[in-house]
Structure 1
Amino acid sequence: MEDKTKKKKHYRPNVAAIVMSPKYPATCDVFIASRTDVEDAWQFPQGGIDKGEQPKEALFRELREEIGTDAIEIIAEYPEWVSYDFPPAIAEKMKPYDGQIQRYYLVKLKQGAKINISKGKDAEFSQYKFVPIGKIFEHVTYFKRTVYKQVLKYFRKEGYI
């Protein structure tokens, strides 16, 4: 018998960028930033896909909005959509969404690109840094780790990182 109490989850369409430093592939340092609205929550840049917008269009727009530049080169795209659920404290703020369904891109910051996360009261990030890809899980927030591991494992297997 089917359980009628289980509600279908509602996921927000989203893009995420694993931004490698301009020194890639010689050095595999990746960009992470600390959110302004969740204490000590380091993550990759990401954001919602607007109605009628294609994922790659959203990728470039979100990078302009969140890190102040879209001067990137797309290296690879994760072949599937991946999803995660928000933890309860964040889910409350993100209603009606239960989580996000994301399209991941591995990108390289172009030489000379200028990162600018300071956008006053609308800033999504308070600080950023580049960390070696092997140390990423010492920094990123707990509820994104499963998806990050899945995506990074794929890019590693394919020889990109």
Structure 2
Amino acid sequence: MDHDLELYRPNVGVVLFHPDGLVWLGRRANTPGPHNWQFPQGGVDPGEDLEAAARRELAEETGATRATFLGRTDGWVAYDFPPGHGGSKALRGWRGQKQVWFAFRFDGDDADFDLAAHTAPEFDAWRWAFLDEAAELIVPFKRAAYERVVEAFGNFAAARSRG
């Protein structure tokens, strides 16, 4: 996918791995299913370090702060907003988002998660899931980006038994 990356909003995404290899997924608040589960993600402030932005977004959206860096994607993973997408970012002239994804190991307890940690909660529920489930649960216009993230971080993930 060849993009003029200047037209894409800088963003970070976080895949938070439980020590057993499962990943944290949040259900987007006020968003009907079935494609309403995603990883924490958010914008990067001008001049902000990307890993610092990822940790900030993780804390704001989940309440979790105890996490160890495992890895990150090389370069940007970009996706386009779909035609007619009326979101606030598209209305500000962005074609889509460009993301650097971070993998962290969660070093806390489930009680650390506080979806109301931020003033406007992004998520209304969360669960541990297999990494390869994420691409099936995300909105279709982000699916290719999630497939790249699944491929990039597969070595940290628990495998689903196929029986």
TM (normalized to structure 1)? 0.81
Mapping for residues 77-156 of structure 1, pairs under 5 Å: 77-94=72-89, 95-96=91-92, 97-112=94-109, 114-119=112-117, 122-156=120-154
Query: Unaligned 5+ residue runs, structure 1?
Result: 1-6
Shift of 1:150: 1.1
Relative to 1, partners in 2 of residues 1:121 and 1:135: Cα closer, same or farther, differing over 3 Å? same
Identity level (%): 29
AA aligned to 2:32 is: E
AA aligned to 2:23 is: V
SS class of match (1:63): helix
Question: Could you tell me how far apart the structure 1 residues matched to 2:84 and 2:28 are?
Answer: 15
SS class of match (1:152): helix
1:54 aligns with 2:49: yes
AA aligned to 1:115 is: F
Question: Could you tell me how far apart the structure 1 residues matched to 2:120 and 2:132 are?
Answer: 31
Aligned with 2:156 (options 136, 154, 160): 160
Aligned with 2:21 (options 25, 28, 48): 28
Query: Unaligned 5+ residue runs, structure 2?
Result: 158-163
Question: Could you tell me how far apart the structure 1 residues matched to 2:64 and 2:5 are?
Answer: 37
Relative to 1, partners in 2 of residues 1:48 and 1:120: Cα closer, same or farther, differing over 3 Å? closer
Structure 1 moving runs of 4+ over 3 Å: 88-92
SS class of match (1:38): coil
* Cα RMSD for the two superposed structures: 2.3
SS class of match (1:28): coil
SS class of match (1:17): strand
AA aligned to 1:63 is: L
Question: Could you tell me how far apart the structure 1 residues matched to 2:43 and 2:65 are?
Answer: 16
Question: Could you tell me how far apart the structure 1 residues matched to 2:130 and 2:152 are?
Answer: 17
1:10 aligns with 2:7: yes
8 Å contact 1:91–1:99 — kept in the other structure? no
